[in-house]
């Protein structure tokens, strides 16, 4: 075969080493032509009476999977082995892909066929088929497929306008940050700032033909200054720059003010939601999520607030007492760091030597073996994209092959930052041979040097466990329809359940013993360090909690309470939320919403609560292991059966109850955050 991307046979792995940028467009175009022809054939067949489930769903699942099989390696290479040529090919393909997706989601004939199949479907039936049809119908409706022509056109117009305005919001934010800099000539003012941050600033000054230090506004630099700079004036200067980005209060030119754009985005979202039959955008957003209603999310957030606010006030009072004076917004990170150091005397640098990556990975694989009976066997023969990438065969307890896992752990210039799990191949059985799932697990750890292996901080250990949790969710699925297998079709507010759940293990003394071993001599993490590490876990847990609740409530309320004619009322609603939730005083100039890209850039709009929602589920699920024994295979078997295997085929609330024997309870999250029921001033109760 000339084009390696076109080999999508069930047992084939991508031929990564042979894929070239010039393969990308022809492969995608060929697949789209073939898919469009196949779709036309399916529709023609339906007009001649072939309109049952088997005539419609398996063939369409095949089309979706073929596209995914071709596009997954491309988008993976784009993320881990980027080149200008690949990026160009990738970008040229995006509009073609979007057009194809729109054709499908706006196809009225297809929608009616799905609707008829769903109506004729008997109760019960094959696992997952009901959920598959429900998801498909829901997505058709959410994209306005059944609207009269004029309204449909308006809906599409709004979607395009939103895509553009959300992109401009993010661009303004970047431009506003790029427009700001601070030159410092006085070394005394920089006292406390870490050497690596100062080196970067000195380099920037030199590149600008100046002496001293030139600071630009980026997140790592901002956090380093706020956390470590002893100069209060310098912290205040940086805080003002950060908290007013892209706003009317910003020192940057007014061109980057996001104020009007935010109003426009809220208005468009509201209009789109109304067009497809919802009262507001929050309700529209929740249509695809586990949470049932705006009221349910609101009372969930209110309950967490009631449980944590008092504890957060106490933590803040402790911090002010430690500082010896009232604290402004730009003091909090600095004194928190000082207090943390004094209380726990623990640093990343002290922990790293005990967490060499090979040891941590072997321990994690051992843990997965103890919990689920899985074996991961490295296979050096499989074609990969970089010498550091590896492939593991994943075997079940009986030795049956159930999937595969690619790992790529080290940071490289041509690799996107962050850590993630991605779907390489989905499980599929549609009458033909079984296609086993394959996952990518990607991190950005420091590579080994000639003398030292890659040494992880405990945060990085948590990251590795987190991504392994996502990978297990993808690999252990027993669902045969790709669109609802593994992580597909899982609601956004529940998809972090299996990943955050895995993090819990990385705090247990017995697991820390399995995954640690000093890179010189192999000694496990000493007991005394284990204790300090565990104690530091809950430091300021309630303050972090109320900060997240502030974001989540603000996001929910601006979308749920939007009223045309009144505008966004963004600062007003933020003020109300802060009065009810926040414990740290906000500066009068603070324009936090203008930089809140999570929700105004898209993605998390009316969905920011998902972080806490999933954390309640994951903490409570993990608590079952605390109760029954962290290495006990019994809760593991239950977790696998009820949560990891079901993909998007079951209501997650029902699945959770099947696993836990009761609905989710917020108590475990409060305890894991160091918030005791006594400090909370009330007994924690279950979310609905």
Q: In terms of CB distance, is 499 or 673 closer to Zn ion?
A: 499
Q: In terms of CB distance, is 435 or 499 closer to Zn ion?
A: 499
Q: In terms of CB distance, is 76 or 519 closer to Zn ion?
A: 76
Q: In terms of CB distance, is 244 or 499 closer to Zn ion?
A: 499
Question: Smallest distance from the beta carbon of 301 to Zn ion, in angstroms?
Answer: 21
CA distances from 207 to 31, 43, 195, 200, 204 (A): 48, 62, 18, 11, 5
Alpha-carbon distance of 168 to 138, in angstroms, equals: 29
Give me the torsion for CA of 508, 512, 513, 515, rounded to 10°.
140
Question: Smallest distance from the beta carbon of 476 to Zn ion, in angstroms?
Answer: 16
- Encode 416-443 in three state secondary structure: CCCCEEEEEECCECCCCCCECCEEEEEE
Question: Smallest distance from the beta carbon of 498 to Zn ion, in angstroms?
Answer: 9
CA distances from 347 to 340, 343, 533 (A): 10, 12, 9
Alpha-carbon distance of 662 to 686, in angstroms, equals: 10
Alpha-carbon distance of 38 to 624, in angstroms, equals: 48
Q: Which residue is nearest to Zn ion (CB)?
A: 499
Six-digit token pair at 389? 């990438």
Cα angle 195, 198, 204 (rounded to 5 degrees) comes to 145
Q: What radius of gyration do the chain's Cα atoms show?
A: 26
463 binds Zn ion (CB under 5 A): no
Alpha-carbon distance of 658 to 25, in angstroms, equals: 46
Q: In terms of CB distance, is 335 or 611 closer to Zn ion?
A: 611
Which residues are part of the catalytic machinery?
Answer: 467
649 binds Zn ion (CB under 5 A): no
3-state helix, strand, coil in the chain (%, to 5): 60, 5, 35
Six-digit token pair at 104? 């499908």
Backbone torsion region of residue 125, taken as left when φ is above 0, otherwise alpha when ψ lies between -120 and 50, otherwise beta: left
- Encode 161-192 in three state secondary structure: HHHHHHHHHHHHHHHHHHHCEEEECCHHHHCC
Q: In terms of CB distance, is 46 or 499 closer to Zn ion?
A: 499
| 439 DSSP β-pair partners | 405, 423
Q: Taking CB under 5 A as the rule, which mask of x and - marks residues 183-212 in contact with Zn ion?
A: ------------------------------
Q: In terms of CB distance, is 517 or 647 closer to Zn ion?
A: 647
Q: Taking CB under 5 A as the rule, which mask of x and - marks residues 548-567 in contact with Zn ion?
A: --------------------
**Is residue 118 within a helix (H) or strand (E), and if so which, with residue range?**
helix 108-120
Six-digit token pair at 162? 């939103």
Q: In terms of CB distance, is 278 or 420 closer to Zn ion?
A: 420
499 binds Zn ion (CB under 5 A): yes
DSSP, collapsed to helix, strand or coil, labels residue 66 as helix
The site that binds Zn ion (CB under 5 A) totals a number of residues, namely: 1
Q: In terms of CB distance, is 129 or 499 closer to Zn ion?
A: 499
Question: Smallest distance from the beta carbon of 291 to Zn ion, in angstroms?
Answer: 18
Q: Which residues of 212-234 are buried (b: 16+ CB within 10 A; e: fewer)?
A: ebbbebeeebbebbbbbbebeeb
Stretch that binds Zn ion, among 158-166, 435-443, 499-507, 618-626 (CB under 5 A): 499-507
Residue 504 CB partners (closer than 8 Å, separation 6+): 618, 619, 622, 625, 626, 672
Question: Smallest distance from the beta carbon of 505 to Zn ion, in angstroms?
Answer: 15
Stretch that binds Zn ion, among 66-74, 290-298, 441-449, 493-501 (CB under 5 A): 493-501
Site for Zn ion in 225-264 (CB under 5 A): none
| Spatial contact of 505 and 493, defined as CB atoms under 8 Å apart | no
Alpha-carbon distance of 479 to 122, in angstroms, equals: 19
Q: Provide the binding-site residues for Zn ion, judged by CB under 5 A.
A: 499
């Amino acid at each position: 075969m000339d084009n390696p991307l076109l080999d999508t046979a069930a047992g084939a792995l991508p031929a990564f080493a042979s894929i070239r940028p010039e393969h990308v467009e022809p492969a995608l175009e060929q697949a789209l032509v073939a898919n469009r022809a196949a779709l036309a054939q399916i529709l023609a067949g339906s007009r001649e009476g072939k309109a049952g489930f088997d005539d419609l769903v398996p063939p369409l699942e095949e089309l979706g999977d073929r596209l995914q099989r071709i596009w997954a390696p491309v988008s993976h290479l784009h993320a881990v082995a980027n080149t200008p040529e690949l990026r160009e090919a990738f970008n040229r393909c995006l509009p073609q892909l979007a057009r194809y997706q729109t054709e499908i989601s706006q196809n009225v004939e297809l929608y009616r066929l799905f609707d008829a199949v769903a109506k004729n479907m008997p109760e019960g039936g094959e696992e997952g088929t009901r959920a598959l049809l429900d998801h498909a119908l829901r997505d058709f409706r959410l994209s306005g497929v059944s609207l009269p022509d004029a309204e449909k056109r308006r809906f599409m117009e709004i979607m395009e306008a939103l895509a553009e305005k959300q992109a401009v919001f993010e661009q303004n934010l970047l431009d506003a940050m790029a427009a700001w800099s601070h030159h410092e000539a006085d070394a005394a003012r920089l006292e406390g700032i870490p050497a690596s941050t100062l080196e970067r600033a000195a380099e920037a000054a030199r590149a600008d033909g100046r002496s001293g230090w030139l600071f630009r506004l980026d997140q790592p630099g901002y956090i380093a200054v706020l956390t470590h700079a002893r100069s209060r004036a310098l912290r205040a200067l940086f805080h003002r720059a950060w908290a007013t980005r892209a706003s009317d209060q910003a020192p940057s030119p007014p061109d980057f003010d996001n104020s009007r754009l935010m109003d426009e985005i809220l208005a468009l979202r509201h209009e789109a939601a109304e067009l497809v039959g919802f009262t507001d955008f929050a309700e529209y957003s929740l249509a695809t999520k586990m949470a049932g209603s705006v009221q349910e999310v609101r009372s969930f957030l209110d309950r967490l607030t009631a449980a944590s606010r008092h504890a957060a006030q106490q933590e803040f009072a402790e911090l002010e007492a430690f500082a010896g004076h009232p604290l402004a917004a730009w003091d909090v990170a600095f004194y928190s760091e000082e207090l943390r150091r004094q209380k726990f005397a623990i640093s990343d640098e002290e922990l790293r030597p005990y967490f060499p990556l090979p040891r941590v990975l072997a321990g994690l694989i051992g843990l997965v073996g103890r919990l689920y009976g899985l074996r991961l066997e490295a296979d050096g023969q499989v074609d990969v994209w970089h010498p550091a990438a590896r492939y593991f065969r994943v075997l079940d307890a009986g030795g049956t092959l159930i999937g595969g896992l690619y790992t790529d752990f080290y940071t490289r210039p041509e690799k996107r930052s962050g850590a993630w799990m991605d779907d390489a191949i989905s499980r599929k059985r549609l009458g033909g041979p079984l296609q086993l799932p394959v996952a990518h697990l990607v991190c950005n750890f420091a590579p080994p040097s000639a003398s030292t292996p890659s040494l992880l901080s405990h945060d990085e250990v948590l990251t590795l466990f987190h991504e392994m949790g996502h990978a297990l969710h993808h690999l252990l699925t027993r669902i045969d329809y790709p669109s609802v297998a593994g992580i597909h079709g899982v609601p956004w507010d529940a998809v972090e359940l299996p990943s955050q759940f895995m993090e819990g293990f990385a705090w247990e003394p017995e697991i820390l013993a399995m995954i640690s071993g000093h890179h010189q001599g192999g000694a496990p993490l000493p007991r005394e360090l284990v204790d300090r590490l565990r104690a530091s876990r809950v430091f300021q847990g309630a303050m972090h909690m109320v900060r997240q609740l502030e974001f989540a409530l603000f996001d929910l309320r601006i979308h749920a309470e939007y009223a045309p004619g009144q505008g966004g009322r963004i600062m007003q609603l933020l003020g109300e939320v802060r009065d009810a939730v926040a414990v740290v005083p906000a500066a009068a100039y603070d324009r936090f919403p203008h930089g809140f890209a999570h929700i105004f850039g898209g993605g998390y709009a009316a969905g920011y609560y998902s972080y806490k929602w999933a954390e309640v589920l994951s903490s409570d699920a993990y608590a079952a292991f605390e109760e029954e024994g962290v290495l006990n295979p019994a809760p593991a078997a239950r977790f696998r059966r009820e949560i990891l295997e079901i993909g998007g085929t079951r209501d997650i609330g029902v699945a959770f109850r099947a696993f836990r024997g009761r609905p989710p309870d917020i108590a475990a999250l409060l305890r894991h955050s160091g918030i005791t029921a006594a400090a909370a001033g009330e007994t924690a109760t279950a979310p609905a």
